[in-house]
Amino acid sequence: MTIRIQPPGLPDKLLALFGKKRAVFLPKQEMPYGYYVATREGFFRALLRSKGQKPPEGWVYWDIDEIASNSADGEKD
């Protein structure tokens, strides 16, 4: 299964300055092999949520920088 996540952009960097993260919604696995696109939470929704608050149900915090560095090194989880 492949999940495509967009690389961090300017809105993600602005949120990081405030110490906040964007949540990502991972689609349901319908088949063992597939290509899925993860949906990112809206910028203003993430900005207005308090720092310690958990993401909405079904959403997770995903460390995009860590994933990008692992894929650049050629490592697989």
Range(s) of the domain holding residue 40: 2-73
Nearest-CA neighbor of 60 among 11, 34, 27? 27
Q: Residue 22, exposed/middle/buried by CB under 10 A (0-12, 13-18, 19+)?
A: buried
Number of domains in the chain: 1
pLDDT given at position 73:
53
pLDDT band at 14 (very low <50, low <70, confident <90, very high): very high
Nearest-CA neighbor of 26 among 60, 70, 65, 77? 60
Read off the pTM. 0.64
pLDDT in tens, 38-76: 888 889 998 998 887 888 888 888 765 555 555 555 544
Q: Phi and psi for 10 in degrees, rounded to 5? A: -60, -45
